Amino acid sequence: MWILFAFLSALFAGLTAILAKCGIKNTDSNVATALRTIVVLIFSWIMVFLVNSQGGIGNIAVKSWVFLILSGVSTGASWLCYFKALQLGDINKVTPIDKSSTVLTFCFAFLFLHESVTVIKAIAYILIAIGTYLMIEKKQGEKNKKTEKQAWILYAFGSAIFASLTSILGKVGIEHVDSNLGTAIRTVVVLIMAWIVVFITKKQNTIKYIERKSWLFLILSGLATGGSWLCFYRALQTGPASVVVPIDKLSIVVTIAFSCFVFKEKLSKKAFIGLASIVLGTFLLLIK
């Protein structure tokens, strides 16, 4: 069952990137992240009360609280980096770098969670790493762009690092906690962190200038994120992080398909081969 939840997480995550890209076109990325998190928070707590798991808060161990909070902080940092990168760069350039967190997660899962490494799993991750490298390509004429526009690659790598930490910390945090409740608690942390950044950068006044269309896409993006999180942490609770995370990262297929058809962003032959390598490597992980 965890495999199904992992694939659903990928679908919702792919939709999140597309909807968020539309929503942050004329909106500060930090403000957009903070507003989206409000939607995720409401959605996640509705799910907690629907499954009647709110009573489990008092039974959460100190260790779980610590790791859930740290996971939330990592998520917030990953989001802030990711949506800043999306605002500065093309979605089919940013997403592959963000998805490179898969390889980092594999390393962390082996080192800290002591998950096994088989020959097939090693080959799968080599294919994913090669595919990711092939998809990270510079745009023609990029050297002539302003430094700020080139900064997207740094934000994208920051997103990948924090995303990998999120998965490992989250895996430990929800070990003996209902996945819906754990997701809701983490979202509170992300929300606080996101709004602190908004006020530090003094961007709160820009909210009144957000267009109605952007509001719609930000809300839809938040709902998609909520669905992705609930499925992801449900899968992570019973499945190995080194397999759940790569499946979740297949959201890149959904994202790039939409970016090509909706945003008319072109995918080179080299990038297409890279995408095929990532998909093949991910499906190899399902072989026991």
Taking only the tens place, the pLDDT of each residue in 190-201 is 999 999 989 988
User: Total domain count for the chain?
Assistant: 1
Min mean pLDDT across 41-45, 100-104, 142-146, 234-238 is at 142-146
**Alpha-carbon distance 284 to 286, whole Å?**
5
**Proportion of the chain above pLDDT 90, given as a percent:** 32
What angle separates helix 179-200 from helix 62-88, to the nearest 10 degrees? 50
CA-to-CA dists, residue 117 to 21, 125, 247, 249, angstroms: 36, 10, 17, 19
pLDDT at 265 over 80: no
pLDDT at 150 over 80: no
For residue 69, count other CB atoms closer than 10 A to its CB: 16
When the pLDDT of each residue in the chain is averaged and rounded to a whole number, the result is 85
**Alpha-carbon distance 98 to 121, whole Å?**
21
* pLDDT grade for 137, boundaries at 50, 70 and 90: low
Range 261-271 average pLDDT: 78
Query: Do 265 and 90 contact (CB within 8 A), yes or no?
Result: yes
Range 111-133 average pLDDT: 88
Model pLDDT, residue 142: 46
**Alpha-carbon distance 14 to 98, whole Å?**
12
Model pLDDT, residue 288: 59
How many residues would you count in the chain?
288
Model pLDDT, residue 90: 76
Residue 171: name the closest of 246, 232, 84, 99 by CA: 232
**Alpha-carbon distance 16 to 164, whole Å?**
18
- Measured over the CA atoms of residue 1, residue 40, residue 81 and residue 179, the dihedral's sign is negative
Query: Do 251 and 10 contact (CB within 8 A), yes or no?
Result: yes
Most confident of 27-41, 125-139, 141-155: 27-41
Return the SS3 of 283: helix
What six digits make up the tokens of 103?
């390889």
Residue 190: name the closest of 226, 150, 136, 235 by CA: 226
Range 232-237 average pLDDT: 89
Structural domain harbouring 209 = 2-284
Instruction: State the pTM of this model.
Output: 0.74
Q: Which helix (H) or strand (E) holds 103?
A: helix 101-112
